A and B are shown apart, each in its own frame.
Chain A
Amino acid sequence: MTQRRSYQVGTGLFILLGFTTLAYLATQTTSIANFSQGPSYMLKAHFTNIGQLKLRAPVKLAGVRIGSVESIALDPDRLDAIVQMSIDKHYGNIPEDSSASIFTSGLLGDQYVGIQAGGSSDMFKDGGEFILTQPSMQLEDLIGKFLVSGSPAQKPADASNNASQDKPATNPPANDNKP
């Protein structure tokens, strides 16, 4: 009987250990770990382009995570994106003239909403809306602008006609101009 008891206890320990490990891995090494479920309030912002912003993306102020993106939808009247953010109640004093922008962490990392605090003494209330917003910066647009602005003299030809064929021929002058 003691023999039987001991392996039953051992099996119980084994199963307990297994489920504890699963629970630990599932909560501590996954995205649940950054998912705070405290009391929060909602803010919204209109963006002309949200880029690759995803649901539950972080909302940061001065680089500190203060909330997450709750929903992303298209505003049918203004034809731009409306982003709802839930902000932790701890951070209740965000000035009303703050601006919201969409940034990329690192060169190719995930996108997040960054908030630059304003100077107003009026604070956001639940359901408040950012007046000043800045859309996501598109890498393709940046490269396009850089290529076009690189050589002002050849601009019309570069931009419209022979963009694809004469690349090797038109690029060296652009490089020469820079330094």
Chain B
Amino acid sequence: MNQIRKPPSMIGDALAQIGACGLFLVQIVAAIPKSLRHVVETIRQIWFVGAMSLVIIMTCGLFVGMVLGLQLYYVLSIFGGTAALGTVVSLSLYRELGPVVAALLFAGRAGTSITAEIGLMRATDQLAAMEMMAVDPIAYVAAPRFLAGLVAMPLLACAFNAMGIFGAHLVGVNWLGLDNGTFWSNMTSGVDVWKDVMNGVWKSIAFGGVVALIAVFQGYTTAPTSEGVAYATTRTVVFSSIVVLALDFVMTAFLM
């Protein structure tokens, strides 16, 4: 009945979505103490969104590192600075590519499955059933997945960085013949723990929270039809990619 009353405005809709998402975040944070009683569920979700994403994240990290090694070797050789390959690769992985690419992969691998799972719970009235049984679905379904994203994302980004550096080492040292010692010693003198490594960790924690929040929110508020679940899954990937990239710019500007 509500839908046919008047055509919805795009801007109003978008604002309402953002507002609802923000309120949902408040609800989740408020439910975190209660959800700690279901800590086993949180662990299960960390396993599901984190450990199960490890293989794809590490494979992609390896290839990203190998490509970076090749491309930067070419660029640096123009300036005669191939010795800086280790520094440049590790800095770009730590500061930028590790958190961002891992978050995009995480949205595709884990975000979609969270949305589809919760969306199907919504469509089959499981969430309503939980409420009937006095189980708070936000504390039992939403909060554990949000926490799992927050915990898993920085660990996945670290695995991505490690594989990336390994890939760059493979290409730069084993294939293109750069000196092993130069590669590592330039890296160790050029990379700072707090300014570079931790910068990426803060970023990936933020991205993990954002992707998990969007995925849970889209699943939670999906239209209870199979079409609705399909739309919600698509929106999860689209929105979280956009928000991750935009947030990345903002965080880079502030953490510089």
Contacts and interface: CB of A to CB of B under 8 A. Distances in A.
B188 A21 contact: no
Interface residues of B, number: 33
A30 B197 contact: yes
Interface string B39-67: 01001101100110010000000000000
Q: How large is the interface on A (under 10, 10 to 19, 20 to 34, 35 or more residues)?
A: 20 to 34
**Most chain B beta-carbon neighbours within 10 Å: one of A8, A26, A110:** A26
A31 B51 contact: no
A159 interface: no
Interface string B83-98: 0000000100010000
Given A8-B43, A10-B47, A11-B50, A18 B188 contact: no
A79 interface: no
A22 interface: yes
A169 interface: no
A30 B192 contact: yes
Interface in B155-192: 155-156, 158-159, 161-162, 165, 184-185, 187-192
Question: Could you tell me the dominant secondary structure of chain B's interface residues?
Answer: helix
Question: Could you tell me the dominant secondary structure of chain A's interface residues?
Answer: helix
Interface string A1-33: 000100110110111011101101110111111
Contacts of A36: none
A14 B47 contact: yes
B188 A15 contact: no
Contacts of B165: 25, 29
A21 B193 contact: no
B47 A33 contact: no
Interface string B129-158: 000000000000000000000011011101
A31 B46 contact: no
A7 B201 contact: no
B197 A21 contact: no
7 contacts: A8-B43, A18-B155, A21-B158, A25-B165, A25-B197, A31-B188, A34-B188
